[in-house]
A and B are shown apart, each in its own frame.
Chain A
């Protein structure tokens, strides 16, 4: 079993839809959770960062962490074609020299 599981998709939604992206993990020591967005042939761009459990909102994006279920989510409201990209979750813990453990990434297409 991989430390971080993420459905690679592809996920295709109409413009304006609410998108839900998810990762599960097995290491209960993880404390820091990140979502990166990566456009084709570009570097990953940090979207959201959450420490421990709870929700965090930034504009149309909401990140949720449920440590009891070892499950994290990224919600995108009012999705736009410009949101079409690969979304990668990453996580780590303080004792791991902060080495990031990555999901495979979910490919999202938002259709106009």
Chain B
């Protein structure tokens, strides 16, 4: 089973709202990722967690706050977003045999389509 699940599928929020995106995998993967994807663009890496620790933050604004409660779950907390943050938010996971490296084959979830009004 190579399934990564994400909820919700769609989300509409105002600029003053607080919301959270959720991601779950049961493949025993120890690296999890958040990506942002705009239309007709490739995914853009935001955060990487390896063994439940944040290992990469690609200079993402603080209005995006990731959390990894355990090895199967990944959250992305959203607060005071801007309309330009509207995008498809993708979660991915991969094996991580070394805490400093993530195995390269990443499996993606279906994404959460976010609209900020």
Chain A contacts to B: CB under 8 angstroms = 8, 32, 34, 36, 41-46, 49, 88, 90, 92, 94, 97-100, 102-105
Contact = CB atoms under 8 A, between A and B. Distances in A.
Instruction: Identify which of B42, B56, B103 gathers the most chain A CB atoms within 10 Å of its CB.
Output: B42
Contact of B105 (A8, A34, A104): A34
13 contacts: A8-B40, A36-B108, A41-B111, A41-B113, A43-B90, A44-B90, A46-B105, A97-B100, A97-B102, A99-B56, A100-B45, A102-B42, A102-B43
Instruction: Identify which of A34, A100, A104 gathers the most chain B CB atoms within 10 Å of its CB.
Output: A100
A49 B94 CA distance: 13
Interface of B: 2, 4, 6, 40-43, 45, 48, 55-56, 88, 90, 94, 100-111, 113
A51 to B, nearest CB: 9
A110 to B, nearest CB: 19
Nearest to A49: B105
Contacts of A41: 88, 111, 113
A109 to B, nearest CB: 14
